[in-house]
A and B are shown apart, each in its own frame.
Chain A
Amino acid sequence: MDIAAFDAGLLRATLARALRRGGDFAEVFVEDRDTLGLRLEDGRIEQTSGGHEIGAAVRLLSGEHTYYAYSDVLDEAGLTAAADAVAAAVRAGAGASAVVDLGLVRSAPDRHAVRVPPQTVAIARKAELVRAGNEAARAAGAEVAQAIVGYGDTRQKVLIANSLGDLVYDDRTRTRFSVQVVARRGDVIQTGHETVGGSAGFELVDEATARAVALTAAEKALTMLDSRPAPVGDMPVVMANGFGGTLFHEACGHGLEADAVAKDASIYAGKMGEVVAAPIVSAYDDGSLPNGWGSQAFDDEGVPTQKTLVIEGGRLTGYLYDRLRAREAGAAPTGNGRRQSFRHVPIPRMTTTYIAPGDATADDIIAATPRGFYAKSLAGGQVEPASGSFVFGVAEGYLIENGRITAPLRGATLVGNGIDILMRIDMIAADFDVKTGVCGKDGQGVPVGTGQATLRIAEMTVGGTG
């Protein structure tokens, strides 16, 4: 079944059926998702897996209440059952709103251009890339003990209809290639990880790219074999470009998501227009970044994605909204209503979030730091938006001594509080880069980009064992 050609009459009937006992907004989300994943470990492609899932969800909003039902059965019976489930749950009293006629809008095919649709490429060619990545990682050094190489592509087609009359079709392709390397010297084991991903087709990864990704991962692991335990204490921290953007994502981005703001569970609630960062800091969330891993033409509520200025010159200028929270706040949705699949309720989520580049160079920043910690790549982190407290593991870190990067350090963690840290950013370079990741919230994982240029935080807590 081609969901782009889904019966608009059935969609309209489903919306009306969902609204018949009350509610002021109804939506049908139809999804068709095809995935492929290859995984190599121990020199063998040990698993090749893929599949096809289809389904639809019906959502009904009544004031601040959300009713949601989904089904894997994409026919009239399945949609009717889902519409009946939400209609049965809605508390009577609110007047039913009418359904406006539906007119189809399609995403522009060149928005996140897919030059080589992965479905047109033989799986054997994808397997060759995975093997090339393994070869390159193994060749990087005798101490490489293990390489785990993954290739994945997804084509997700969605059709979103709502009672406002929107009918949006979006066809999304994502491709990703990742390598994890384990290096061993005696009892010391270290790991390195590198990934490339985008809202793009098979053209994203050729053999040279696969080898380069593998080599970077291997070099990280090998370098860290020489590492010594990181020191403990407060010190200047220089965050490298790219991966360092996880800092902004965790320390600030989650607090800008409008659900946390609405529940006053964010340190950024009630601070619009106020100073929340150093004057040199401006930041964006951009779901429209061409071919970005976190990009798509429309969000999962059919709202076009956009570039949203969230911090300008240190002042808070914007939150990230889905439809529900925008309605509540009297604001316009910002294209941040995202869901993992039809089995998940859309909520405000980041897309590609980043601190805008400055005009220093990374070398300037290191040279201006007599003693400090250089975080080259982060392992991941967590934050409590309510308090702003966050923690990051550092995958690759170094000591800075006398303005030079010296010994690699292991086992470091960066601990802090969102606004404190943003206020202490005192240098930003121009070497902007974006990395890919999967962000988890409320049990839903969505692809996101995190970015920044090299920057310095004047003081931050480093937790290590040394």
Chain B
Amino acid sequence: MFDILDAVLERAHARGAPDVEVYAERSTSRRIKVYRQEVEQLTAAQRRGLGVRVFASGAVGHAYTSDLSDGALDAVVQRAVDHAAVSDPDDFAAVPEPGGAPADVHPFDERLTRATDERRIELAMSVEAVALAADPRVKSVEDTMYADGEAEVFIASSSGVRGSYRANQCYAFAYVLAEEDGQVETGYSYTVGRALEELDPAACGREAAERACRLLGARKCPSMNAPVVLDPFVSAAFFGVLSAALTADAVQKGRSLFAGREGQQVAGEILELVDDGTLADGLDSAPFDGEGTPCRRTPLIGGGVLQGFLYDTYTGRKAGRGSTGNGLRGSYSGLPGVHPTNLVVSGPVTPLAELIAGLERGVLVTDAVGVHSGANPISGEFSVGISGILIEGGKLTTPVREVTLAGDIISMLTNVRALGDDARWVPGGSILTPSVVIDGMAIGGT
């Protein structure tokens, strides 16, 4: 593949574009859905392509192609040059420089390359079978999926950045419908890893079923101002949204509620939040980011105090500092943007049962609908629909649904009072978080 990257660099140079970066990917993936112990869908895929970023006196042009023929390489270079011609120049936009040795991370497990379709199907079937058998109230498993992927990433630039790595991962997922007295509730779970041996299909099926069944009989609860316990799935969704405000991109463009608050108390004193692209078990770990900058560990909140932001090359230069290795790309067709790698929420923990026992009245929130549409990362305000279990007199009592949870992110962070002992990785943003107890939340019901 590097011969193709070098060919692109040469062609760009020949067209009078000396500052160029090329990013390429090739990948294979499998996706298997089962339904009622039959294979419903099996997808086998191969994918490849490259993206070219041209820096012409600070103006950025980007173009991509899935066609790697000679003619297509000429065309993609020409387009990147043409696109740079209409972008506005910026003093801080320049081709990223080599950032030192890649992080010592190997997000690849050889065992996954030996997986067979039979074994994958068997694993998905067992997730569904466990979920179906877990409780008589389980009506069906609407979606049971196993998926895996293997990708090889390449980057080369005119400034001397050059690197590649291989990464793979696999996961299984179940979405369960439970029914009782005509009421349907849903629950999901997943299991993730880099090899089939690391997945736990039984735990996945069982948990999805439990999460659906425990909500049966749910109804609205009275409106109240009370503490809530966000379980790890829900906590991860909130930290995922608020992490957008912790990027230098949001700060520099006036889109962050954390702008100008470095060194200030922004969260409960127990809270630590770290971005770490080098964790061995982090799904988004990699030797380097989408600009070739080594991944690293970046503290964001420590002791409740805002410690810093995430940077890519551009925002780092603008702030007079270096990139934190957070210039990530969704795929070869996208430009790098500032995003978290793996986010880790930590601090002193308390057994979850003890936390619940300590609450006179509150809600254990097990599902939040609309976190992405109902939370505004710019203003920090949010209002989402939640399901969960009412806590009364230190005990989990009746399930609740169709109630809202509203507030603003800063008050919510400030009111973080305790963390559970149940930390786990939640994919879809790669966040490691325990349950989080937050005081004084507005719950809207009847």
A, B in one complex: yes
Q: Which residues of A contact B (CB under 8 A)?
A: 38, 41-55, 64-73, 81, 85-86, 89, 91, 123-124, 126-127, 145-146, 182, 184, 188-191, 230, 232-234, 260, 263-265, 267, 343, 345, 379-384, 386-387, 389-393, 410-413, 415-417, 461-465
User: CB-CB < 8 A to A190: which residues of B?
Assistant: 379
Question: Does B383 contact A386, Cβ atoms closer than 8 Å?
Answer: no
Q: Which 4 A-B pairs have the closest CB atoms?
A: A463-B404, A380-B373, A391-B385, A51-B64
- Which of A44, A81, A465 touches B406 (beta carbons < 8 Å)? A465
Question: Does B49 contact A410, Cβ atoms closer than 8 Å?
Answer: no
Question: Does B403 contact A44, Cβ atoms closer than 8 Å?
Answer: no
Given known A-B contacts A410-B381, A413-B385, A415-B403, A387 and B43 have beta carbons under 8 A apart: no
Type the 1/0 row for B76-97, where 1 means its CB is closer than 8 Å to any CB of A: 1001001111111010010000
Closest chain A residue, CB of each to CB of B41: A66
Given known A-B contacts A65-B40, A386-B177, A465-B383, A50 and B79 have beta carbons under 8 A apart: yes
For the complex, give the distance between the alpha carbons of A396 and B125 in Å. Answer: 46
For the complex, give the distance between the alpha carbons of A123 and B41 in Å. Answer: 42
User: CB-CB < 8 A to B86: which residues of A?
Assistant: 38, 45, 48, 123-124, 126-127
For the complex, give the distance between the alpha carbons of A464 and B66 in Å. Answer: 46
Given known A-B contacts A53-B65, A233-B223, A416-B402, A381 and B370 have beta carbons under 8 A apart: yes
Question: Does A123 contact B373, Cβ atoms closer than 8 Å?
Answer: no
For the complex, give the distance between the alpha carbons of A265 and B85 in Å. Answer: 51
Question: Does A464 contact B43, Cβ atoms closer than 8 Å?
Answer: no
Question: Does B376 contact A65, Cβ atoms closer than 8 Å?
Answer: no
Q: Is the interface of A mostly helix, strand, loop or mixed?
A: strand
- Determine whether B268 belongs to the interface, using a CB cutoff of 8 Å to chain A: no
Question: Does A413 contact B374, Cβ atoms closer than 8 Å?
Answer: yes
Interface residues on chain B, number (Cβ under 8 Å): 79
Of residues 397 through 428 on chain B, the ones whose CB sits less than 8 Å from some CB of chain A are 401-408
User: CB-CB < 8 A to A86: which residues of B?
Assistant: 44
For the complex, give the distance between the alpha carbons of A336 and B150 in Å. Answer: 32
**Interface core residue of A73, A85, A91, A384 (most chain B CB under 10 Å):** A384
Closest chain B residue, CB of each to CB of A125: B86
User: CB-CB < 8 A to A232: which residues of B?
Assistant: 223, 404, 406, 442, 444
Question: Does A42 contact B253, Cβ atoms closer than 8 Å?
Answer: yes
Q: Which residues of B contact A (CB under 8 A)?
A: 35, 38-49, 51, 60-67, 72, 75-76, 79, 82-88, 90, 93, 117, 139-140, 142, 177, 183-186, 220, 223, 253-255, 257, 333-335, 369-370, 372-376, 378-385, 401-408, 442, 444, 446
- Which of B39, B76, B402 touches A389 (beta carbons < 8 Å)? B402
User: CB-CB < 8 A to A343: which residues of B?
Assistant: 45, 47
Given known A-B contacts A41-B253, A67-B42, A463-B383, A52 and B66 have beta carbons under 8 A apart: yes
User: CB-CB < 8 A to A260: which residues of B?
Assistant: 142
Q: How many Å from the CB of A396 to the closest CB on chain B?
A: 12
For the complex, give the distance between the alpha carbons of A52 and B62 in Å. Answer: 12
For the complex, give the distance between the alpha carbons of A417 and B369 in Å. Answer: 13
User: CB-CB < 8 A to A64: which residues of B?
Assistant: 35, 38, 40
Question: Does B65 contact A146, Cβ atoms closer than 8 Å?
Answer: no
Question: Does B370 contact A392, Cβ atoms closer than 8 Å?
Answer: yes
Supply 6 A–B pairs (Cβ within 8 Å), ascending by A. Answer: A47-B335, A124-B86, A146-B253, A387-B184, A393-B374, A463-B383
Question: Does A415 contact B402, Cβ atoms closer than 8 Å?
Answer: yes
Closest chain B residue, CB of each to CB of A231: B444
